[in-house]
Amino acid sequence: MWPARRLLKYGAVTGALLGTALSLKANQYSLDSIGVVRLGRAATTVHKTAAEKLLALCCTNRGVYIKVGQHIGALDYLLPKEYVETMKVLHSHAPCSKLEEIKRVLREDLKQDPMDIFMDFDPEPLGTASLAQVHKATLKVPYVRGNSLVDMKTMEVLVKLVAWAFPDFQFQWLAEETKRNVPIELDFSQEGHNAEKVGSMFRDYTWLKVPRIYWELSTKRVLTMEYLEGGQVNDLNYIRDNKIDPYEVSDKLSQLYSQMIFIHGFVHSDPHPGNILVRKSPKEGVEIVLLDHGLYAVLTNEFRYQYSNLWLSILNSDKEAMKKNCDNLGVGDLYGLFVCMVAGRTWDAVLSGLEKTKFTTNEREMFEKEIPNLLPQISDVLAKVNRQMLLILKTNDLMRGVEATLKAQSRKTSFLVMSRCCIQSVYSEQLSQCTTRLSRWRTNLSMNWALFKLSLYYTYLSLCSILPNTR
């Protein structure tokens, strides 16, 4: 086994050297063609070329591959800009299916000709994504189910091959999660039920808009819903032209997702920019339109309690509590790395206090430099951690990308909202364990005192702050 592994690794190195030699020959053996000689310009060129090849790969294979590309296109705060800018197209302009294929699915599932159902059917899609194509109603892409089964099996084989060749990289969890989640997303009636559930759950948030589902025109392969207008949350030109306050957008998204994760345990897990629209409202200020309800994380009460405690320990810079809470989530000795993954910040920033430190260019560059060196350890963390954490990490990544685009990272308002939700989550779990009226009264008193101290602390920070654009 080991000789074969070495052969594979040496083959990869030999291939790289051979490629360099061929490149030199093509450039008449000019040393100027070697990337090391002109590192700055070459790095940009290499990133751009690699990103374009990755985009072509995603567009060719579609389905699951598009979802990976969408995630990459949302990591503004983490990846080189060439990858992010190239892959952003997949948020709403992924490859589309032919109109006749769409009409065939409509006829098969709705038992009627599309033109008998819709007064007007625009042949040009408004947007296309990984598993969906949008005209005036949202119509799901045909053939995805069959192709996705092949994609998942291919991914499983590749993951096993990588684990065999490079034992430090264990990504079996990725194949397992993909096999579990993609079939859920392909049941489009489930997406409709998710949309209705989250709409009901947040009915008091009058600024949140979730499309109405037309069940009489929907099946497992076709989903017909209300058409809602708006601009993508990362479309800064739209935001500026419509006089939308990006900080208000960030605050409302922070409030929404903190409630989803820490209070309700029902989390929209695909919040890339193509699925979040914003628009101006005379009554509500900024309205958030939430699309694509195919994938939700459903969290247990125990997990919410553990995750809330972890975030409170991070926000308090309490190293011992962080270690204990990471142990509860299955991470063990790699708790420091896991904390950085959860917070999206360096260990120094965590210990200094997230609410006191800005996410700087130097910190971003440190992430870009160190992450490749930590891939084996990151792989180990993802293999060990509570499975419920995986979709939360994905959601956190995508939301941080949105905040980076809006230039709203590390805002005190976001930390205050999240801290309140964490405190309410922790004390709610304690209340559920109370058996007497006195114990419930004491727990409620402790919760309200903790919330009061929190508000007092953030008021103090705001008064002491002299930084511009801090609200």
What amino acid positions are annotated as catalytic residues?
A: 270
431, burial (CB in 10 Å: exposed 0-12, middle 13-18, buried 19+): middle
DSSP secondary structure, 85-142, as one string: HHHGGGGTB-----HHHHHHHHHHHHSS-HHHH-S---SS-SEE-SSEEESSSEEEPT
Q: How far apart are CA 390 and CA 269, in angstroms?
A: 10
Residue with tokens 């920033």: 349
CB atoms within 10 A of CB 78: 18
Q: How far apart are CA 469 and CA 452, in angstroms?
A: 25
- Number of C-beta neighbours around residue 192 at 10 A: 24
Closest CA to 45 of 60, 56, 34: 34
Q: How far apart, in whole angstroms, are the C-alpha atoms of residue 394 and residue 30?
A: 44
Q: Where are the alpha helices (DSSP H) in 135-245?
A: 144-165, 172-186, 188-201, 236-241
| Buried/exposed 379-408: b ≥16 CB within 10 Å, e otherwise | bbbbebbbebbbbbbbbbbbbbbbbbbbeb
Angle between helices 301-315 and 412-433 (to 10 degrees): 140
